[in-house]
Structure 1
């Protein structure tokens, strides 16, 4: 067994902690992660980057498949607060850039983000009716994900840390915030590539150029192409559309 970092739980040779901000970042908004239980077992997950980069108490993680439940202390009250935003690309979602920016004399936002594959996130959202009553927001479509060591459904899909960094930067008008939060992710990808990982293209791109090697049914193909107009899908990794 290799010695592991006590903070990020990665082997010391690939620890990304040196790339965290020198001092934890304090934001006016609070991040609330609703995490699928399967995410906790992934060795390349990105939520720990947020937990370590943001000041204590500013990134709260609730685990489960349905929210809120009896074990989620305080979550129901938080979801009922008028300034709670759910980052999810539903038909009712509005562009996050249309939301009033956080000012010194305004109430900060609670930014709720679902952490799981696209299929898991969709199931969690539909099994959590209280989320539907919150203001739902979506991110602008911007280029490709920097999480290049995982296969995304298409170029518009982002990892959880990327989605949160983009959203906070917009809500708080702090564009450098995204740069600070994404340095550990960039380091993680470099480490993996140095150790033999290959940069991944999205499933849709591979389909477009005829290089996707697995059989794709009509239903899966339809789902992949329906994601083209979705600005962000958090941690769309693995076999799901994913």
Structure 2
């Protein structure tokens, strides 16, 4: 059977031919935007909070379940307002009046998810709310909305910022990126209409990605350490601190520590267990790109635990090619969420012995063990 595996952008999570990242502008907004995103939206292919995050210079996304928002200490500023539509004129709700707020809080999720988050989170319940009155229906034609006037996250955020800071240029360009995503998807859907085959659901074959059935020689498990957020530079300069990979069937391994544009604090190097690596031992970005492209073969599948790992590599070397994200499989198992350590514990998987001393070596050994576990499970179905 001919493979339908697609190369995917791990920033917008769309197939490369539908990637819209280049159309997203950088907007210097004055109001800090805090997006509270339900975890189910995080990797949704049509989620529009990504446009908000990558387009606005002052934007933070916090991801969690309803319980996380209800019990956590959210970074809510004293002068924050909540952007949240009301079904009716609920008594006791305060609406924002007066000077522009310093922070705009946006809830990203389905109508039910957003309603539950606001209901259960005490930090949000007392905030004044910014009321929107959409003049025209939303343009989110690829996801069903509760009413014609319902807006996507990016539409609502742009409308709110346009009211709070009308002098800020570039806000409308965020909607152009959104429209480009919607139009491209609608065109693709139209081309496929009538030719798509409906496949029965519930079978184990569909629980596990096809990549797990490939020869182990084609599966390259990788892990990279990212620079701390306080040290991050521009996206064009961002790269892994170190990058490790291992082919699953043989002892073919890859290991590089990269030069950083900003010197890492000693405590960070201690945490990554890299304090013994001298600067002259580090590779340049060009050297890393050349070595990695030599190591990863055209037919290989890159296997990572978290999509952020693939994003980190993509920002350093460009498109990653075929990629398997192990965390996406965990959502169909008892280990639906959690760190790599927690997933191994829940599934009863023993981590392999690391082949090096750093934190990345230990994380890679766990990822290899998890990939091997899923390969065995897939073959038992």
Q: Please, what TM-score do these two structures have when normalized by structure 1?
A: 0.68
> Please, which of 110, 113, 119 is the counterpart of residue 120 of structure 1?
113
Q: Who is 1:8 aligned against?
A: 12
CA distance in 2: counterparts of 1:148 and 1:62, whole angstroms: 26
SS of the aligned residue for 2:106 comes to strand
* 2:146 paired residue number: 153
- Show the 5 A alignment for 1:109-188: 109-174=102-167, 177-188=170-181
Aligned length: 180
The 8 Å contact of residues 100 and 171 in structure 1, kept in 2 or not, is answered as no
Task: Kindly provide the CA deviation profile for residues 6-46 of structure 1, in whole angstroms up to 9, marking residues without a partner as x.
Answer: 4322111101112111xx21111111011111111311100
Instruction: Please tell me the root mean square deviation across aligned C-alpha atoms, in Å.
Output: 2.1
Please report how far the alpha carbon of residue 170 of structure 1 lies from its aligned counterpart in structure 2 after TM superposition. 0.7
Structure possessing the higher radius of gyration over alpha carbons:
2
Match of 1:85 in 2: 81
Deviations 1:131-151 (A, max 9, x none): 111111211232111111222
Question: Pairwise mapping of residues 84-103 of structure 1 onto structure 2 (< 5 A)?
Answer: 84-90=80-86, 91=90, 92-94=93-95, 98-101=97-100
Aligned residues of 1:33 and 1:62 also touching (Cα < 8 A): yes
Greater relative contact order: 1 or 2 (C-alpha under 8 angstroms, separation 6 or more)?
A: 1
Deviation at 1:93, TM superposition (A): 4.7
Using a 3 Å threshold, how does the CA distance of structure 1 residues 197 and 144 change in structure 2: closer, same or farther? farther
1:109 positional shift: 1.6
Q: Deviations over 1:148-181 (max 9, x none)?
A: 1222121220000111111011101137543111
Quickly say closer, same or farther: Cα 1:6–1:153, change in 2 above 3 A: closer
Residues 1:192 and 1:183: Cα distance change in structure 2 (over 3 Å): same
Q: 1:176 to 1:155 in 2, by over 3 A?
A: farther
Secondary structure (helix, strand or coil) at the match of 1:194 reads helix
Q: How many Å apart are 1:197 and its aligned residue?
A: 4.8
Match 1:39 to one of 33, 38, 41: 41
Corresponding residue to 2:53 among 48, 51, 55: 51
Describe the SS at the equivalent of 1:114: strand
Indicate if the aligned counterparts of 1:35 and 1:115 stay in contact, CA closer than 8 A: yes
> Which consecutive segments of 4 or more residues in structure 1 shift more than 3 A?
174-178
SS at match of 1:50: helix
Unaligned runs of 5+ in 1: 102-107, 199-242
